[in-house]
Amino acid sequence: MATEEGPLNAATLIKDGWFMEKNSQWPGQANSLEVKQVLSHAKSDFQDIMVFESTTWGNILVLDGVIQISERDECSYQEMLTHLPMFAHECPKQVLIVGGGDGGVLREVVKHSCVEKATMCEIDVGVVEAAKKFFPKQNTGFAHPRADLRIGDGLAFAKAAADETYDVIIVDSSDPVGPAEGLFSPEFYANAHRILKPGGVLCCQGECLWVHADLIETVLRDNLAPFAGVEYASMQVPTYPSGQIGCVLGRKAYADASKKVSCQNPVRPVPGDMDLNYYTEEMHPAAFALPAFLKKRLDAAVPASKRQGATKMKWG
């Protein structure tokens, strides 16, 4: 992202020992974290990358002046973005991750024993290198034998992929400016639908309901139009704008049209020995309970047939 004066320099957002996340994408508000020390600051071919150690939230990854992860609360975002679509699928064997260069989503995907291959396409190797150096709890997935890391453009990767290749696609992108802009385009969503198998699930970073309701409505109504099921789920991430972010989920129609297309409940039991810090079986359906103002808006924008809820699952 560039400012009127030129490319952004995240170091200019640190004053008197505090990093202040001022950004035109969320006008009139800013989030601040106290800085202990700057660990790294560089410019890649795509964006400004800074890592600093905060006094209370661990190491922080900042891309183009926007906080991407903190070591303290990353579990809420990574686990929900991953396990909502993964547990909404009966047996995801082939998984594509677009973006997610910090490695958190990959770490979560390979926790599912049913996964045969997790392909990850990240455009910026600089983000991967920063994660490997400064975020040891997140980068464990890179060395996993079922992981396949590709450095390249996710939009082009999806366009080139064969029809009906993947069971689940997870898009862990930054905001819809700069390198991630194309991942919010109808073209990308159309290709994602094409390369999903019947009954497959797409889950994308879905922005903040307090700030980006217009974008959320557009994505659900227009970008996800090819999908049989369309939903928005909410999660709490204290270091993100307004302390909230969501994900948009789309289910490709099953070959059996009688099957429910909602992702609102897990369709597999959550293993008791799975290492989780935020996601739970109870948290899964709770994420789809939206505030009245957004629910009314999305109900008006999306046909009822695409919003069908699922009944509570019981394991026996």
Token reading at 124: 């910026």
Q: Which uninterrupted H or E stretch holds 203?
A: strand 196-207
Contact between 219 and 249 (Cβ < 8 Å): no
Contact between 78 and 139 (Cβ < 8 Å): no
Sheet of 244-251: strand order equals 147-151, 117-122, 94-99, 166-172, 196-207, 244-251, 229-236
48 tagged catalytic: no
Q: Which uninterrupted H or E stretch holds 164?
A: none
Provide the residue count of the chain.
316
Burial state string for 185-206 with b = 16 or more CB within 10 A and e = fewer than 16: eeebbebbbbbbbebbbbbbbb
* Distance from C-alpha of 230 to C-alpha of 219, rounded to nearest angstrom: 10
Active-site residue identified among 64, 102, 172, 175:
172
Contact between 48 and 39 (Cβ < 8 Å): no
Report the catalytic residues: 172
